[in-house]
Structure 1
Amino acid sequence: MTVSVVQFGGSNCDRDAVRALDRIGVDAERVWHEDGLPADTEGVVLPGGFSYGDYLRAGAMAAHSPIMNEVREAAEAGIPVLGVCNGAQIGSESRLTPGAFTTNASARFQCEHVHLRVENADTPWTAAYEAGEVVSLPIAHGEGRFEIEDERYEALVDDDRVLFRYCDADGDVTDAANPNGSTGNVAGVLGESKNVAVLMPHPERASLEELGGVDGQGVLEGFA
């Protein structure tokens, strides 16, 4: 599989994503957004960073890059697409996934390791885990608060499209374990199909034992 990691002006996790994918045997390459998706693209990563300096809203300007039309077409064709942190914001702004990511409840940039509970293990992005399993991933965001209207949130839950929730080390979903005030402690969601997912925590930053663990590797295995 060849995964295109889309690089926008301000992206800063593109190299990390490529290296993390290479470690699990997935061929990945950085693609500058103005160049479009290569013809052999079999997967897409929208990486973290600060595309366009987060002007207007995080991810808002990148969502209007012409390459995002290609990403949407790829997603509709069944190609796996993963948005991480700023990539999740871009995915949301592009309507690849429901809801929006807004300023953290603390109004501060949150950079820390958090616990996540796996809500749905029947997806490519979570097949490496068990439902209810608790994993640890780092976050680094100022606009990571997932918000969605009540009715749409209920539909999201009913459709089993919540991938991860912020929790404590014991797997309890509590306000204290919610680092940014996200609705329902949601940390990651699916699009209308299982091949599209976005999440605020960084799986690529949790893929080396030397850097604190490999809990994020299972998410990236969705491409494999």
Structure 2
Amino acid sequence: MLCVDELLALEPFQQLPPSQLQWVCDRAHELTVPAGTTLLAEGSNPNGFFMMKSYSHLDRGAQQVVDVRDGLEDTLKLLAYKLKSGITVHRQYEPELPQVCAYGSELNQVWTNLIDNAIAAMDGKGTLTVAIARDHDHLRVEIIDSGSGIPASIQSRIFEPFFTTKAMGEGSGLDLDAVSRIIRNRHQGTVSVDSQPGRTCFTVCLPLPAATAATST
């Protein structure tokens, strides 16, 4: 994986500010490392090897029928080593949820980023809620944490390229601008955030296949 020091050795990158250098490193990492690999390298997860097949087997090149609940559950298992005893996970899944047509491994990267950020926001203690429900012709996923919240002054900017609240070199993987690109550009869905002290909720809405959406009540 490229690091900031290596980029600084290349003349075209020497004029970029640190935040943009980190963004370039993260994008290179995103393109070269399969979903889940970074997580397994960062922490101890004895079940990780067996999880990888179900987590990253989907072909990025073509949309497939995807069970969003399975993807979220796989992500929670991969991140189990970060879910310390002080964090409680609540699942709110509607029964008989419809499947979606999607790039499954890309969605897994979205769930990884959002859930990992939620865990980090709680600093080892709090409640993580993962909710899935049908909303007319969309499937709605909510990732909710009980952390300190995102300052109102930056909420409108968190999906912008290059924008991050992390210090340089503090972790890698997808930024929220990549979450936005995957959901909005690749899946014609929406992603939004509502945050206040004690409750931050990221909401992802994915369109349902036409035949499924036609049965909406």
TM-score by length of 1: 0.28
Rg comparison, structure with higher value: 2
Of Structure 1 and Structure 2, which has the larger fraction of its residues in strand? 1
Of Structure 1 and Structure 2, which has the larger fraction of its residues in helix? 2
TM-score by length of 2: 0.28
